[in-house]
Amino acid sequence: MKAHLGIVFPIRINRYLASCGLGSRRSCETLVREGRIKVNGLIARTLGQRIYPEDKVELDGNQLLCPQQKQTFLFYKPRGIVCSRKNAFGEKTIYDLLPPSVQSLFYVGRLDKESEGLLLLTNDGLLANKILHPKYHFTKSYIVSLGRAFDEKDKKDLLKGMYIEGKRVKAEEVIIQEENKLKVVLTQGMKRQIRIMLSILGYKVIRLRRIAIGPLTLGKMKPGELRPLTEKEKKSLYRACELL
């Protein structure tokens, strides 16, 4: 299995046709049933047929072009940088740090100015929607340093949750790594969620660093570093988003 122009191959024929802009997967299945799709000169007969990068796919005798290139990168957002294209106060944004070749990409999973760590940059709207949609419970993991020792009895409040602006928010997992350092895992995406929850419990966040988005990890990346996903990362991300 490999990625080619943003698609992970082999890919089911209905998904491939949909990614070529021919409609929904269901309507693309109709094209196959009607015998209008050929693969390497032969009429596609089954909906389970898989397409490979070297295959020639035709609709009504017209060759389909490979879908537009999708790009996905990991970026280590430094502290003090704003997640925004433009800032009304003239503050430096992540796009001031990015090379021209990726300026058209949008970020997935905002971090506030004083937080740092992993951001996903992509031009794949479907992928972004899957990551952000509550239905998929996509995890985001953080290392949080506090201004004082963490009291273990407060852990249950983070896990049980609390109401903020009329909405119940909670942590999925809390691990005490040191007396004043936590690993916190979220599946919700409320703005400044960790900072607000800990503030309610009487803690000041000294440093907040996102170390993972789903199966993607910060690893040994340094602040300001940008890199494309590896083939293994693409595969695991697409699987987690149910796009395989």
Distance between CA atoms of residues 60 and 37, nearest Å? 7
By C-alpha distance, which of 144, 118, 85, 142 is closest to 224? Answer: 118
The token pair that represents 122 in the structure block: 């992509």
Residue 162 is inside which H or E element, if any? strand 162-164
Catalytic residue among 55, 112, 154, 157: 112
Q: Is the peptide bond before 10 cis (omega within 30 degrees of 0)?
A: yes
Residue 235 and residue 10: Cα distance in Å, rounded?
11
Check: CB of residue 108 under 8 Å from CB of residue 122. yes
Q: Is 55 a catalytic site residue?
A: no
The catalytic residues are 112
